A and B are shown apart, each in its own frame.
Chain A
Amino acid sequence: MAKNLVTPKLISEFNRFCPGCGHGLIGKMIAQVLEERGVEDNAIQVYAVGCSCFISTVVKADSIQAQHGRAPAVASGVRRARPDAVVYTYQGDGDAAAIGLSESLYAAYRNENTTAIFVNNGVFGMTGGQMAPTTLEGQKTATSIYGRNTALTGQPFKLAELIAQMPVAYVERCSLSNAKLIAQTKRAIGKAFDNQLAGKGYSFVEILSPCPTNWHMDPVKAYKRLDEVVAEEYKLGVLRDSKED
């Protein structure tokens, strides 16, 4: 555990996230995982459009910003151009599950030897907290002011479950709601990179993460909500592990 207290060299001290936002914490864990494996100088980070884009100012790996939703496709090009690099995508839920659903599914379908980090905060963060495919039933957002009406808009979208249908290496859903689960999240990120380093194919880690700003909650309440409300709908755990096939 002592290792975790050391600030990774890959990380910048400055970040642009709101206080209590989950993105910063995830960035730190990615940096730790890369450094622990000694691959930080060989990593290529393909990031999305959304608050998630600030990851590149936090994790100082070589980075490419994809168009909104297209990070998995951009990473597929990078994968082929740089066969020896460690290639990963970093996307929010609007990015990967709404506009970029096709690119997400097809990268998994091709079983790209890449690592996908998917941050589910239940809203479009950057554009002001509108409804995302992942928004919970009844949840109030900027485009569902009376609460999400699932009869009209569909049920909360489960990208991890969809991807787990395909013969990929690994799919796990994690959460940032407490220290134990954060440690588990880091293990999952680590495993997703280990799979890539071993050439096992596509790994996908979904992380339930708070957006205190657009949930209109203080960070403490937001982390509690992750546990008490969000994880009720989005069950944590390993959804697929090719080792178990």
Chain B
Amino acid sequence: MRTLMKGNDAVSEAAIRAGCRFFSGYPITPQSEIVEYMSWRMEEAGGSFVQSESELSGISMIYGAAACGLRTMGSSSGPGFDLIQEGIGYIVSAELPTLIVDVVRYGNGLGEIVPAQSDYWQVVKNGAHGDYHCLVFAPASVQEAVDLVGHAYDKAEEYKNPAILYYDGAIGQMMEPIVLPEMKEHDPDQFSWSIKGRGGEPQKQVTSKCYYEYTTPEAYVENLQTKYAAIEKNEQMWESYLTEDADLIFVAYGIMSRTCKEAINVARKQGIKVGMIRPITLYPYPVKAFETLPETLKGVISVEMSALGQMVEDVRLAVNGRKPVFNYATGKMIPDTEEFISYMKNVLEGKEESV
């Protein structure tokens, strides 16, 4: 059955249906709908909701509940998402799964409440200190966001690593018709590691794995290297659109990929051979999508709603010098079809400088 739902509400409902039974959050635009939705829905589903006194505290509660094996979720934006990083670092170090939603707003510091994609570095590289990545999923529609929630939990549990659902405020706020997944029960006791009181077993410790599990320097390094290598090998997700014969390939994710696709369709009618690679996972970055680039290709354009162009670094690594890469950083604006097409023409006419 199709229902019409706002992105943030739909993601919350999808989490509940994936078996999430603990949520803690703090209001900030444009993610507050998640906190509001969870405040009543979680109780209805028999789980726990806490409006925490800060994001620092909220993510700490999530850490505690995740250590007990529950499916947990947190969400924030901008400065609130910064405060979540401390807890993410600890959740990573203890190798626990959780799902954190970053509904991105624009600007540094307090910034503005308008949609953006300028947290790429923070979510993809890592927001806390140390050697890690979160699994990062970047849906381009409300339906895709819903579908990725369950998948993100499965992968977070498989790799014992937090996952981030990363989308801009536009996807968070827009209403689209969707099909929701069936309700699923999650058993927190299915994991050997979940904390519940020792119950006659030896003591379990949830803390950095370097203290109890990977205690030699070699074992610690090997565990991290093996884990992230496996993620990079097995978990890349992307969509390629009209890339086979392309003269130009855009790389765009989230809301940007939708306007980009529209522009591509119009440009194709005008005879411009242009296509798109749409990363769905940002970590692992879908480098496989770039393995075979068409002979005809004249340039790869990374387009992103950020002032500096953050993803372009990964595009350059993926293209690895084979073709020129362009950085189309649009700040808080989403270009319209005409602007896209004029950018394409500029690249083809040699008027844009590659990075």
Contact = CB atoms under 8 A, between A and B. Distances in A.
Nearest to B203: A60
Contacts of B89: 67
A42 interface: yes
Contacts of A64: 63-64, 67, 94, 195, 205-207
B62 interface: yes
Interface stretch (A74-82, A159-167, A188-196, A203-211): A74-82
Given A64-B67, A76-B61, A77-B63, A85 B53 contact: no
Given A74-B63, A80-B48, A81-B64, A41 B200 contact: yes
B196 A77 contact: no
A103 interface: yes
A16 B58 CA distance: 32
A74 B72 CA distance: 13
B24 A77 contact: yes
Nearest to A80: B48
A42 B60 contact: no
B233 interface: no
A164 B62 CA distance: 27
A62 B63 contact: no
Bin the interface of chain B by size: 35 or more
B52 interface: yes
B196 to A, nearest CB: 6
B60 A73 contact: yes
B195 A62 contact: yes
A70 interface: yes
Given A80-B48, A81-B188, A102-B54, A62 B64 contact: no
B90 interface: yes
Contacts of B184: none
Contacts of B318: none
B86 interface: yes
Interface string B185-203: 0001000000111111011
A106 B60 CA distance: 13
B195 A78 contact: yes
Interface in B43-91: 48, 50, 52-54, 56-58, 60-70, 72, 86-87, 89-90
Contacts of B207: 56, 63-65
Contacts of B65: 77-78, 80-81
Interface in B157-203: 188, 195-200, 202-203
A66 B197 contact: no
Nearest to B87: A67
12 contacts: A43-B197, A56-B205, A60-B202, A64-B67, A74-B63, A76-B57, A77-B50, A77-B66, A77-B68, A78-B64, A78-B67, A103-B57
Given A63-B195, A78-B64, A103-B56, 18 more contacts: A63-B203, A65-B205, A65-B208, A66-B64, A67-B89, A70-B86, A74-B60, A76-B61, A77-B62, A77-B65, A78-B67, A78-B195, A80-B61, A81-B22, A81-B70, A82-B68, A102-B53, A102-B56
Interface of B: 22, 24, 48, 50, 52-54, 56-58, 60-70, 72, 86-87, 89-90, 94, 188, 195-200, 202-208
